[in-house]
Chain A
């Protein structure tokens, strides 16, 4: 307790001193209006805000506070390009981060590369972001190959015969579906795998679901984001296709921990198996637990991986500035490429390998889990963890509806 109040006092002095200095501007490009994923944008914002407050409370970095400048990219590549251009040329940010929708990231990294400003990719999964091989781009988040490989292994371990996957018709969805098809061939050779694309702006997917009803597969996989994901899930449930006694339901987009998930799907989410990047039972550094507690305090919700990814994104930039002792974008880029980092999800270093192309400046061994929701309104912390990080799948823990 005494240590806390001393810390608070020191923080107050440091904050006062830092306030007198010119703030360091960092650009955050997120979706704050449709057709972008606003839910994701809000979570990214929550994550970086917590870290910003923590850092500024300790006096900022290099004696200067950090300032976050937000731009709304609306989930549209063209707007992302314009937003990044504005952040770099007008607001003179030293780094850009926050990207959470793959097609937008792909447009934004072009701008970052052109102006040689570091870009920390918070949540764009598409391998293409890495494959471009731009020195300015850093990827502390998940990538499609990782998910697809993990999902293929799960499919293999569960020994399902027929799988039909539904992906949204975006770069992310189609990319993940194609990779999954490839990996299933090697990791689950006995499985028949097919995928369909659905319009992410669609409002009724019942015909697609009805086609399944005629000949139900053993597993339905989805790689879709809300709101289409919720509509699709509800219609799958309504027609009794999945989750059902015959058919598993496996989500590869990680939507189970979105704050509006249960409110939108209700019964349809029970028995859903989910690929996840965060589960409270995963080992987590003290800083991570601190951020988690602060998030719950601010929003009354449980944290999810977007919060942590966003937190790490900002921490990476700040740490690079501190280690490089400079706010010059090129120096930050250089530091990010080589430094060892311990953030809210663990310690890692960006890979410098150019082969395979998706590994470039990526946290290659990012931990993941698989879990199953066993009750309506169940928070992820209470969900049934069927695969911890680095462990084999506990097939016997899986439940099927009666």
Chain B
């Protein structure tokens, strides 16, 4: 049945979107800035996976965590070199904070895209799948082996992240810093190291998303634009800073897009999400779950 097929497809893609967007939601929750190079974390993860698996002959299951490590490292590096001035005691920065973050991450995005383009080449690659089954039936629905595994890993990661934030010590430190940076550091939490951790997690998740989807969406240097735009929509729809909101919004977006494509238009499917973003910001700025007020 078509509606069931679309629902399943929408949920599967929604899971992928969630994996992409959750990291961005975390960064926003803590730093109140948007990382415009988020898509490139995804891209770097995808390329790491593909290159390590095809050029170095590493088996795909091993290439996956390597991509994750690359993403985490990139995230930590970005935080250390570029984002630290925003909060580590550089007084005069507070007025132009947002502009700085946008400019510097925009520049980073351009840099990463072009470096990869020059070093690896502009051809799209095809990532080796984790499992060779390209199709099988799962009840009434047809599935692709890679999609199923990717969806499963996404669920595991997202659940793991939620538990980590809620239960673990570091997770609670993250929550504290997100709520009140000054207060948290007064309570003895190293806000800077926590922020570094958040960036690393964000990079890791985005990179894993890239690696998992590499066999389905052939990575090219500009492949990051696609997860980036989806992530912005999701983070706004879910409520900036809310991880739960982002997860729900991601699933919702996936399903809505699926139905929109068939019943309205194939061409405008990706633009549909952007329309949602604008409408949300006009009519329900706090999103589904976020804090009230768009004053940052």
Contacts and interface: CB of A to CB of B under 8 A. Distances in A.
Tell me, yes or no, whether A and B come into direct contact in the complex with CB atoms closer than 8 A. Answer: yes
Interface of A: 32-35, 38-39, 169, 196-199, 201-208, 210-211, 213-214, 226-227, 230-231, 234, 237-240, 260, 263-264, 266-268
A199 to B, nearest CB: 5
B261 A238 contact: no
Contacts of A260: 123, 126
A208 B258 CA distance: 9
A54 to B, nearest CB: 27
Contact of B270 (A199, A227, A263): A199
Given A208-B261, A239-B135, A38 B267 contact: no
A210 B217 CA distance: 18
B119 interface: no
A33 B117 CA distance: 8
B266 A264 contact: no
Interface residues of B, number: 32
B218 A207 contact: no
B146 to A, nearest CB: 10
Interface stretch (B2-10, B243-251, B287-295): B2-10
Which residue, of B1, B9, B222, B261, has the highest number of chain A Cβ atoms within 10 A?
B261
A196 B266 contact: yes
Contacts of A199: 266-267, 269-270
B247 to A, nearest CB: 19
| Across the A-B interface, the 9 shortest Cβ-Cβ residue pairs | A207-B261, A210-B5, A214-B2, A238-B144, A33-B122, A238-B135, A207-B262, A203-B217, A239-B142
A231 B266 contact: no
Contacts of B226: 203
A38 B218 CA distance: 14
Given A207-B269, A227-B220, 18 more contacts: A33-B117, A34-B222, A35-B222, A39-B123, A198-B267, A199-B267, A199-B269, A203-B226, A205-B266, A206-B9, A208-B261, A210-B6, A226-B124, A237-B135, A240-B135, A260-B126, A264-B218, A268-B134
A32 B13 CA distance: 31
Contact of A231 (B2, B218, B257): B218
Contacts of A230: 126, 218
A230 B219 CA distance: 13
B71 interface: no
A234 B145 CA distance: 12
B75 interface: no
9 contacts: A35-B222, A197-B267, A201-B270, A207-B258, A207-B266, A208-B261, A210-B9, A227-B124, A227-B220
A169 B267 CA distance: 8
A264 B126 contact: yes
A237 B134 contact: yes
Contacts of B134: 234, 237-238, 266-268
A38 B123 contact: yes
A238 B142 CA distance: 7
Contacts of A202: 266, 269-270
B13 A204 contact: yes
A208 B266 contact: yes
Contacts of B220: 34, 227
B221 interface: yes
B267 A263 contact: no
A81 to B, nearest CB: 21
Interface in B201-236: 216-218, 220-222, 226
A264 B127 CA distance: 9
Nearest to A230: B218
Interface in B125-178: 126, 134-135, 142-144
A267 B129 CA distance: 13
Interface centre among A33, A260, A267 (most CB of B within 10 A): A33
A169 B268 CA distance: 11
Contacts of A267: 134
